[in-house]
Amino acid sequence: MKTIFKLLFYIFLSTSTLIGGTDYTKKPSVKRFIKSMQTKYNYKSSTLYQLFKDIKPKGEKEPYIPKKPDKEFMKLGSWDRYERIMLHDKRVSLGVQFLDDYKTTLARAKDIYGIPSEYIAAIIGIESYYGKNRGKFYVFDRLAYLAFNGHRRWKFYRYELQEFLRMTARQNVNPKAVLGSSSGAIGLGQFMPSNYKSFVVDFNNDGRKQMNSFVDAIGSISNYLSMNGWRKGEPVATRVRYPGNRYNQKPTGYKHRYKRVNLYGIKPVVPFDYKKKVSLIKLKRTRYDELWYGAKNFRVITTYNHSSYYAMAVHQLAQKIKDKKNSLQENLNVAQLFSKIE
């Protein structure tokens, strides 16, 4: 890997800013990790020791101060709370603007990968608020903290740290300067480092694969969904009716699949031309359970984040963006029509 040792040029640019950090080079597990990187990928141990010499506590750029939860808000059903956070009008409006700003790129991605543009817009909107919130943690330090402090998923985070180092070397990026989420996810689409090599594409053809580039993020998220089984032209989800206010008859969630003929008493609210197995997705409202069918494409979204609520938020945000975009276009068409008549 010919650019690996360019890391040395960057190391000292950032370590001076990490005041009050912890020296991880004293940890036996870190020493073994450094030895493994040296053996498998030919990294210089001196470079890695310098990286681990000063790890910011918990990887935070700034101390995290949790907000006191609003009591009335916490009394709401779990989906009511999730919906208020994820599906507010401002996020929808920014999604419509995103469709306009990247119309050409989104159309090209749809032609290549078959993913509707509104779903790409929805994922970027939820993951990074259209670039406004890409993460407040130093990724190297955060992954080091999670990998070497007894976290129950330490093996996962140690692997992600390895892949993060390899990724930053390929892209000639200072590993100490990259910001991301509390789990080490990076960029507009919040990809974990291990996903970069498999799914990130150079969609703007500038010779670099960067999830902080809107064009590369659009292509990469489209590629990710396509490679995980998205079926072009098939639906994602539809709301259904069932007897009563709370649903407990069958297990719900994206991991469970049923033939529709076996779901007695459950009927789609609108026609739903889908013959394959569906999942039952339960959204807990304050006074009732909202129930949906989730199709194959719904389950594909859950590969991005293993949560039925997350996938439903993506679906509903995508539909809200699409509906508002169409509504604005219709209003514009009417205005232009009347302008011609006058």
The catalytic site residues sit at 127
Which run of H or of E encompasses 333? helix 308-341
Report the candidate in 231, 226, 213 with the shortest Cα–Cα distance to residue 102.
213
150: left (phi over 0), alpha (psi -120 to 50) or beta: left
3-state helix, strand, coil in the chain (%, to 5): 55, 10, 40
DSSP E strands: which ranges in 251-313?
267-268, 279-284, 289-294
Distance CA 295, CA 117 (A): 19
Residue 141 CA: distances (Å) to CA of 8, 15, 35, 175: 17, 11, 19, 9
Sequence-ordered list of residues with C-beta below 8 angstroms from that of 129, at least 6 positions apart, any chain: 91, 94
Which tokens go with 133?
């919130």
What are the residues facing 254 on neighbouring strands? Answer: none
Query: Could you tell me if 222 and 113 are in contact, meaning their C-beta atoms sit under 8 angstroms apart?
Result: yes
Distance CA 136, CA 61 (A): 6
